Structure 1
């Protein structure tokens, strides 16, 4: 049975992707699974369809998952040029279909790079998200005209079904990142507080004065306060310091 049949319009691709979300260890693993499913959508056994998914997040480098090295290199090139079918689809929220890079001058820089790698046609399909992030699925083929209307419809249906699972994956990733940042901040605070206690004992001063002593030393030595606190503890306590979460 054709692998893409599970993603025909009217099928429940969303449930498959939500199950993928449940078993994935994190956002990167989910995107790897998503790009594999996306590749199956348009694969028909006649010509290889290379696929990638690009996720753009503010203040972060693009997260890219790909079905092969060629797809990865093409996604990296689009990201570097900030243009191409995938990047344009992510930016505009509209599908971008290039039937033949040899005849279509819409993307002169990327089109030239694609042709050098034997790629003749490309398709960028946006995945709609509800936050500051944007994403798109990129399909490319060595055959011109590889994406007729029915394949574009399949790809757009898959992207629509992928929208909710990817939104959930992003929310989980944000929660995980916040928890990690909070844990790191608490670890840092623990180190600073214990170092302040050491300085209080050594100098018979208040906690505020001990913190100010460390801040002054941190500034004069161009060292982070936490790193300075760690050095204070290393020089006085023969044991590692950690925060315990019950």
Structure 2
């Protein structure tokens, strides 16, 4: 992939965009990103395991890793709710722990990971422009692995990855919106059909029929859609679709 000391931004961007197209979900893309980052940055020096942390208010938190080593490092941070990666994601700052044997920050987390083989950590925040909070989590099998050059490489990678993550998150949001819209259309269709049935049975207008449906919903303490569905099923069992179904 990358054999020189400098990462090729165009190459990184193109490969990550390809992974977006090949991934069915954000979670799958983040896993591919973590693997790609680990492979790319490990070519520059000691073996580096990579994790990705993504914090989204509405849809919950997401995490991915290049392998079991990074997964363990990340999971322990989430367990104690502390660590360089969570700090980077939440504060939007780079956090570097070059010698875990001397590290005084995040005491519970550091105590837990001593002896795992990881000796230095770097966490770089993603610039997600308000879409979410996130960080690239890098774990090295060697002390002081992130010298100035390696830090520059990691920051360059995080900058390229940020654009791809923003795109992946927006695609996921559009898919969520589409699902919500389809659900709303399906619900509206059932209610409209039920109103039509009530109009026919009671020889009333649409407004009066809808009022009858609302009263039934209130009296039975059921959602309007559920009452409507029962009415429809009593007349014509089976699924009710919309003209917008794909």
- Normalised-by-shorter TM-score class: 0.7 to 0.9
The within-5 A match list for 1:156-171 is 156-171=155-170
Deviation readout 1:45-101 (Å, 9 max, x if unpaired): 975422111111122211111112342243233335443111111122221111233
1:117 to partner: Cα distance: 4.7
- For residues 60 and 73 of structure 1, the distance between their equivalents in structure 2, rounded to whole angstroms, comes to 23
* Alpha-carbon distance change, 193 to 171 in structure 1, aligned in 2, over 3 angstroms: same
Does the 8 Å CA contact 1:114/1:120 hold for their aligned counterparts? no
The within-5 A match list for 1:115-134 is 115=114, 117-134=116-133
* Alpha-carbon distance change, 192 to 76 in structure 1, aligned in 2, over 3 angstroms: farther
Which position in structure 2 is the counterpart of 1:28?
27
1:148 to partner: Cα distance: 2.6
Backbone CA RMSD of aligned residues: 2.5
Deviation readout 1:146-187 (Å, 9 max, x if unpaired): 333322221111111112222222222222221221111101
Which position in structure 1 is the counterpart of 2:95?
96
The within-5 A match list for 1:64-79 is 64-79=63-78
Which position in structure 2 is the counterpart of 1:110?
109
Which position in structure 1 is the counterpart of 2:189?
190
1:105 to partner: Cα distance: 1.5
* Alpha-carbon distance change, 197 to 164 in structure 1, aligned in 2, over 3 angstroms: same
**Structure 2 residue matching 1:54: 3-state secondary structure:** strand
1:209 to partner: Cα distance: 2.8
Which position in structure 2 is the counterpart of 1:5?
3
* Alpha-carbon distance change, 4 to 83 in structure 1, aligned in 2, over 3 angstroms: farther
* Alpha-carbon distance change, 102 to 204 in structure 1, aligned in 2, over 3 angstroms: farther
- For residues 118 and 54 of structure 1, the distance between their equivalents in structure 2, rounded to whole angstroms, comes to 21
- The answer as to 2:232 corresponding to 1:216 is no
Which position in structure 1 is the counterpart of 2:233?
234
- For residues 69 and 222 of structure 2, the distance between their equivalents in structure 1, rounded to whole angstroms, comes to 43
- For residues 213 and 5 of structure 2, the distance between their equivalents in structure 1, rounded to whole angstroms, comes to 60
- The answer as to 2:36 corresponding to 1:37 is yes
- Aligned pair count? 244
- For residues 223 and 140 of structure 2, the distance between their equivalents in structure 1, rounded to whole angstroms, comes to 50
Gap regions ≥5 residues in structure 1: none
- For residues 218 and 56 of structure 1, the distance between their equivalents in structure 2, rounded to whole angstroms, comes to 38
Does the 8 Å CA contact 2:9/2:160 hold for their aligned counterparts? no
